[in-house]
Chains A and B, each alone.
Chain A
Amino acid sequence: MMPTTRLAGILIPAMAFLSCLRPESWDPCVQVVPHITYQCMELNLYKIPNNIPTSVKELDLSFNPLRHLSSHSFSNFSELQVLDLSRCEIQMIEDNAYEGLNHLSTLILTGNPIQSLAMGAFSGLSSLQTLVAVEINLVSLEDFPIGHLKTLKELNVAHNLIDSFKLPEYFSNLSNLEHLDLSNNKIQTICHKDLQVLHQMPPFKLSLDLSLNPLDFIQQGTFKEIKLHELTLRSNFNSTDVMKTCIQGLAGLKINRLVLGEFKNERVIKHFDTSAAEGLCNLTIDEFRMTYFDDFSEDDISFFNCLANVSTISLVSLYLKRLEGLSKDFKWQHLKLTNSKFEHFPMLELDSLKKLVFTANKGMSTFIEVKLPKLEFLDLSRNGLSLKSCCSHSFWGTTRLKHLDLSFNDIITMSSNFLGLEQLEYLDFQCSNLKQASDFSVFLSLKNLLYLDISYTRIQIIFEGIFDGLFSLRVLKMAGNSFQDNSVPNIFKALTNLTFLDLSNCQLERVSQVAFGSLIKLKSLNMSHNRLLSLDLFPYKFLHSLQDLDYSFNRIVASNRQELQHFPSNLTSLNLTGNCFACICEHQSFLQWVKDHRHLLVGVTQMVCVKPLDMQGVPVLSFRNATCQMSKSVISLSVLAVLVVSVVAVLVYKFYFHLMLLAGCKKYGRGESTYDAFVIYSSQDEDWVRNELVKNLEEGVPPFQLCLHYRDFIPGVAIAANIIQEGFHKSRKVIVVVSQHFIQSRWCIFEYEIAQTWQFLSSRAGIIFIVLQKVEKSLLRQQVELYRLLSRNTYLEWEDSVLGRHIFWRRLRKALLDGKPWSPEGTADAESGQHEATTTI
């Protein structure tokens, strides 16, 4: 007893403990791509797992308490390209820790509280391109042993404790360096000597991010003749004055892109004075970006004059209210004004401007004409603008426009058909409210247009010529509009080059057979979120280029074979999810079709039944044909059973007497009697007796033995004796063939009377009357007894028809079988009965 308890006491907690452990404990890492990518994040590993194949190229060991990287830690993984050691509590990296990783291109050390970094810590990383050393308590770049990493392109030392911008001498080795992220450090001053090494680096290559450093001084001349690709200074200055001196300190810098500004959550300068930016005049800038400055001074935007030679300007979230007085000679080619506070559209007159992005400006509703003769790209989206007459070249003073975006605005009234804007290739009106768009051929002159988006513009399409003239159009998005009669009319006849068409959410109920006839190049068609009731593929039959058809979220219950046979020949993807499929046997062929075409049905596992109730939410694929076969087989089986039963019944009826014989198992005996029946008949009826009675009873089944006077009476014996001896004595029954002649025949009446007496004496109910022909009542009345008997007893009447005969013989046979002993016991009974009768006599 004790050992079992003890065993249980050990085993059960052990099992509980094991089940509590995650399976990763013994096979820790997740294999993302076999032999290539392994994910071992947060598995409480204290050392580098040794069951990872040496062919691994990407290894994520983040959030494991590795704590210490000794030399040659990764020597097993010589193929490694990406190594993630984020937040591994690494405090110490020894010399040659990464030795052997000659293919490593990305090393991530984010969030490790490194205290001791050996001078040879990064030795051997001969291909390293990206080093992420964010939040590793780095105090200075001087001690960071990366001077030999000549392949380095990106060095991210953000969120550290670096307080000096002194770029060490070794940077002259890093000739491939493109990005240096020093954001979120403690740099306060930048001195002349700090950047001397930049002169030895390739010009216009390096991007520097100094955001979130509390800069307060940049020594004059520090950036003189320095050529950078990009410099980002966001949320660096705690006052306009500091900003002013620092920007003056940038004098002499030649730069491709300068980013100034703050972050939305790190605003320090309460009131931005544009004079702070005056120092920009001393810089050579190609692209200038400014973002998130509060309370932009309204009056003085003279600093823009310093930016006259800039080619690209982005002013994002600046709370600008005005932008006037710009010289038309400014070299600005691209201008972006986003999320500002313009009350009016700025009066822009810039001769060189090619691209204008003016978006998400709140509080402006009126639009004034501008003069931008070289404008090619215009984005006016998300402004809440109302345009009373759109659109012609006079609006923007350009005939070169190729890209026009007026999406997410207010009411835009179409009054002219893009006169002078024939160069347009891209046109977007999405989610604006288009008026009069379906009144005339609005786009008639846009023969170069490739892309048109009029989704959710509240157009009710009535006019069939709405898209006339768009011969080059490739993409047409018109979701969320409506059609007259909720049916697609023949509006696409001009769009012979169309490859993409979106008609979703258009309340469509029908598709006209000819609607898509001319779209011979169409590749993708979206008909989702409509009210289509069936999947009739006939309208798409001739779309030989169609590859992608989306019919999701309609009201399709099922589809029949006829509709599906017009399947477009090149279709590779069909989406039918979100429909109202009825998973019933009636649609079995459609459900089978779904199963057969599952390879091209998108999200086939998400296709669920809606009806019947018990199948609701069940995937269509799990509908089993067997359920239908079951009911079919049940039906066929029951039909078969009914057939069999009726055949058996017919057979039983037909072979009733054969069966009686079989059931008796033995040939029945006649007991005492030699004959089954003694036939009393008039010799006039002998023909009938011989041809019908004898033939049917003696040769039929079961065979009866009749006693007939012409055959069975013994010659030489008196007729009366024969009648009694052979006839009555040896027969069980007596058949009386009543006819006209019978009543007239004396012998017959004699026989009948004897039969009656005999019946009385032997107590047998043995007389069977057959009325061969109707007997006149007056004649019958002469034989009072016979008349009485016939009127009281059931008799057989001969009828010379097929049915009548059949019934006659059946009744007669039954009557003859009555009282016949079937078995030996029966025979015995009959014998004893006979005995009794005899003794009574």
Chain B
Amino acid sequence: MKGFTAAFLIWTLISLNGGCSQAWPTHTACKDGSLEVLYQSCDPLQDFGFSVEQCSKQLKSNLNVRFGIILREDIKQLYLDITLFTKEESILSYSYPICEEDLPKFSFCGRRKGEQIYFAGPVNNPGFEIPQGEYQVLLKLYNENHSTVACANATVICS
């Protein structure tokens, strides 16, 4: 009886730890011989799917990416903030408007909360060679009310 109680207690404590925390699993966006991109959702509300078609040290311009998510917010306007960290220090910060109300650029602009979106297509990135090292990239998508639409902590490992 005692043994059973003790076992039950331990099990509860362990499951308590796992049950209450909301850390999303780490996914792989792409992996190649020299480049690996991992990401983890930092939006407490949801996880999402993301992948990059090509994955090479010599980053091509206009990369094809896939992105799927169920929206938690309307996205009449959508903005992307990218912050690049290396060794815990922010070295680059970039903000980019993705959706604007007047003549929106992408077909997913103006989608509604609760709607599922799937984007497969090129992104407007410049091509460059990634220097060797490990980088942290914080990507944050937010709408006109500054509500988070999606958030990801990505790790780029280039060897």
Please measure, in the bound complex, the distance between the C-alpha atom of A211 and the C-alpha atom of B103, giving whole angstroms: 12
Kindly state whether residue B112 has any CB partner on chain A within 8 Å: yes
Q: Which of A6, A86, A316 is B103 in contact with, Cβ under 8 Å? A: A316
Smallest beta-carbon distance A651→chain B, Å: 67
Given A2-B1, A6-B5, list of 5 further CB < 8 A pairs?
Answer: A5-B5, A8-B5, A13-B9, A135-B116, A263-B106
Kindly state whether residue A663 has any CB partner on chain B within 8 Å: no
CB–CB B114/A111 < 8 A: yes
**For residue A9, which residues in chain B have a CB less than 8 angstroms away from its CB?**
4-5, 8-9
Residue of B nearest to A291 (CB): B103
Kindly state whether residue B145 has any CB partner on chain A within 8 Å: no
Smallest beta-carbon distance A613→chain B, Å: 21
Known contacts A63-B114, A86-B114, A111-B70: A265-B107 contact under CB 8 Å: yes
Residue of A nearest to B114 (CB): A86
**For residue B2, which residues in chain A have a CB less than 8 angstroms away from its CB?**
5
Known contacts A87-B70, A135-B114: A19-B103 contact under CB 8 Å: no
Kindly state whether residue A253 has any CB partner on chain B within 8 Å: no
**For residue B130, which residues in chain A have a CB less than 8 angstroms away from its CB?**
none
Known contacts A110-B113, A110-B115, A156-B112: A16-B12 contact under CB 8 Å: yes
**For residue A211, which residues in chain B have a CB less than 8 angstroms away from its CB?**
107
How many B residues have CB within 8 A of the partner chain?
30
Binding site for A on B (CB under 8 A): 1-2, 4-5, 8-9, 12-13, 16, 19-20, 45, 70, 72, 103-108, 111-116, 119-122
Residue of A nearest to B17 (CB): A20
Q: Which of B5, B12, B107, B115 is A111 in contact with, Cβ under 8 Å? A: B115
CB–CB A289/B103 < 8 A: yes
Smallest beta-carbon distance A7→chain B, Å: 10
Can you spell out 18 A-B residue pairs with CB atoms less than 8 angstroms apart?
A5-B5, A6-B5, A9-B9, A12-B12, A13-B8, A62-B114, A63-B114, A86-B114, A108-B114, A111-B114, A111-B115, A135-B114, A159-B111, A212-B107, A235-B107, A265-B122, A292-B105, A314-B103
Residue of B nearest to A262 (CB): B107
Smallest beta-carbon distance B150→chain A, Å: 15
Kindly state whether residue A132 has any CB partner on chain B within 8 Å: yes
Binding site for B on A (CB under 8 A): 2, 5-6, 8-9, 12-13, 16-17, 19-20, 41-42, 62-63, 84, 86-87, 108, 110-111, 132, 134-135, 156, 158-159, 184, 211-212, 234-235, 259, 261, 263-266, 289, 291-292, 314, 316-317
Among A2, A261, A265, A314, the one with the most B-chain Cβ atoms within 10 Å of its Cβ is A265
Residue of B nearest to A9 (CB): B5
**For residue A135, which residues in chain B have a CB less than 8 angstroms away from its CB?**
114-116
Smallest beta-carbon distance B14→chain A, Å: 10
CB–CB A62/B113 < 8 A: yes
Among B9, B72, B103, B108, the one with the most A-chain Cβ atoms within 10 Å of its Cβ is B103
**For residue B115, which residues in chain A have a CB less than 8 angstroms away from its CB?**
110-111, 134-135, 159
Known contacts A16-B12, A291-B103, A314-B103: A42-B112 contact under CB 8 Å: no
CB–CB B9/A264 < 8 A: no
CB–CB A108/B113 < 8 A: yes
CB–CB B13/A264 < 8 A: no
CB–CB B106/A265 < 8 A: yes
CB–CB B113/A84 < 8 A: yes
**For residue A314, which residues in chain B have a CB less than 8 angstroms away from its CB?**
103
**For residue B119, which residues in chain A have a CB less than 8 angstroms away from its CB?**
265
CB–CB A20/B1 < 8 A: no
Residue of B nearest to A266 (CB): B107
**For residue B12, which residues in chain A have a CB less than 8 angstroms away from its CB?**
12-13, 16-17
Please measure, in the bound complex, the distance between the C-alpha atom of A234 and the C-alpha atom of B106, giving whole angstroms: 10
**For residue A134, which residues in chain B have a CB less than 8 angstroms away from its CB?**
111-112, 114-115
